[in-house]
Structure 1
Amino acid sequence: MSVGIVAARYAKSLIELAKEQNVVEAVYADMKLFLDTAHQNRGLMLALKSPVVRHEKKLAILKAIFFERVNPVSYSIFTIITKKNRESILDAIAEEFITAYDEYRGIQKATVITTTPLTEELRKQFNKIVADATGKTVELEEKVDPSLIGGYLLRVNDRQIDASIKSRLNELKLQFAN
């Protein structure tokens, strides 16, 4: 079974448990904390993914880092995952949980890439475009990439609108090459 499917199942179970225990927000914060820690400390994920490091040692590492800092529901998933020998996918489970949380809260994440920082008016327009298309509350991530030359690139899930001058120039280049 693929990592994504397994991670999604664990994340779904975790969000259901968090709903039952009325700690969804706390578990969400804990999953973000875990991902931030894993991204900042490459050694943590290397240890969790290592077949050489014993599962008891991996659980001890997780306990030392997170036991005092996270909700008991979040820590219980660390324990369960480690006992099931799936600690190598804890980062994928945390990412899937965050996706499930966004779905639960009706949040749609979108990324807009422009050549200059967005004005408040443009930000509202992009929010409206995504909100109208998805019917959800929009969480817009803004990035600046001067190599686009002009225009924008808007990504929502696996969909992308490329209205950049860079892509238009590349299309013209391809047309002239033929």
Structure 2
Amino acid sequence: MSSRAAIRYAKAVLGQAQDKGTAEVVFGNMKSISATLNSSRELRSVLKSPVVKAEDKRASLHAIFKGHDVSTLSLIDLLVEKNRSAILGDVAESYQELYNASKGIVSAKVTTAVELDSALEAKILAKVKSITGSEEVSLEHHIDPSILGGFLLRVGDVQYDASVSNQLERVQKEFSKRI
């Protein structure tokens, strides 16, 4: 869940990008930032660290995200300047959500224990479309072997848990009640 500050920064960047006609380009930049930060615990630690100098954070981020849009690089500069570089990932996530909402795209996240095949992915997309009534659905897939089987589906604030681990947990609770 993004902080209010992250949402405010994301709204400001989206407004600026829409005015310039670069909202889609910045959306791609924000996806790149999210993916990079999600895959690098070290980078997240550097951004949170009070020991690392602001100029070093700025230089590192500019090197990593070289070639990104001016709006994106300005956002990085601003966050570093205001000692808020730690929320860069949250700003990127918030931007993506706001952009999708502005385009009428519903975002859904599905978590499975194994990779989805195309047939199952199509069924999930169809189900999300029927639930939301939206023709545009963005499906984000995560793999989490700890759910053992089944799936977790999150659409907006609603989560449907059809995982094997959840079903086993319910059975365990039921047994413990009866003992």
Category of TM-score, reference length = shorter chain: 0.7 to 0.9
Q: What is the deviation of 1:10?
A: 0.2
The whole-number CA distance in structure 2 between the counterparts of 1:64 and 1:55 is 14
Per the alignment, residue 147 of structure 1 pairs with 148
The whole-number CA distance in structure 1 between the counterparts of 2:2 and 2:113 is 33
Q: Is the 8 A contact 2:148 2:163 kept in 1?
A: no
The whole-number CA distance in structure 2 between the counterparts of 1:47 and 1:115 is 32
Relative to structure 1, is the Cα distance of residues 126 and 114 closer, same or farther in structure 2, using a 3 angstrom cutoff?
farther
The whole-number CA distance in structure 2 between the counterparts of 1:11 and 1:29 is 14
Q: What is the deviation of 1:41?
A: 3.5
Identify which of 74, 77, 89 aligns with 2:75: 77
The whole-number CA distance in structure 1 between the counterparts of 2:53 and 2:14 is 28
Q: What is the deviation of 1:154?
A: 2.7
Tell me the amino acid that sits aligned with residue 11 of structure 1.
A
Relative to structure 1, is the Cα distance of residues 103 and 174 closer, same or farther in structure 2, using a 3 angstrom cutoff?
same
Per the alignment, residue 56 of structure 1 pairs with 55
The whole-number CA distance in structure 2 between the counterparts of 1:89 and 1:9 is 11
Relative to structure 1, is the Cα distance of residues 86 and 3 closer, same or farther in structure 2, using a 3 angstrom cutoff?
farther
CA displacement 1:69-124 (0-9 Å, x = unmatched) = 1111111111122222211211111111111122122222221537784562x544
Return 5+ residue gaps in structure 2 as ranges.
Answer: none
Relative to structure 1, is the Cα distance of residues 7 and 176 closer, same or farther in structure 2, using a 3 angstrom cutoff?
same
Tell me the C-alpha RMSD between the 2 structures: 2.9
The alignment's TM-score, normalised by the length of structure 1, stands at 0.78
Identify which of 122, 129, 132 aligns with 2:130: 132
3-state SS of paired residue (1:69): coil
3-state SS of paired residue (1:10): helix
The whole-number CA distance in structure 2 between the counterparts of 1:60 and 1:117 is 38
The alignment's TM-score, normalised by the length of structure 2, stands at 0.78
3-state SS of paired residue (1:155): strand
After TM superposition, the structure 1 = structure 2 runs for residues 107-122 of structure 1, keeping only pairs within 5 Å, are 107-110=105-108, 111=110, 113=112, 117-118=116-117, 120=119, 122=120
3-state SS of paired residue (2:32): helix
How many matched pairs?
173
Tell me the amino acid that sits aligned with residue 51 of structure 1.
P
Return 5+ residue gaps in structure 1 as ranges.
Answer: none
The whole-number CA distance in structure 1 between the counterparts of 2:127 and 2:11 is 29
Q: Is the 8 A contact 2:148 2:165 kept in 1?
A: yes
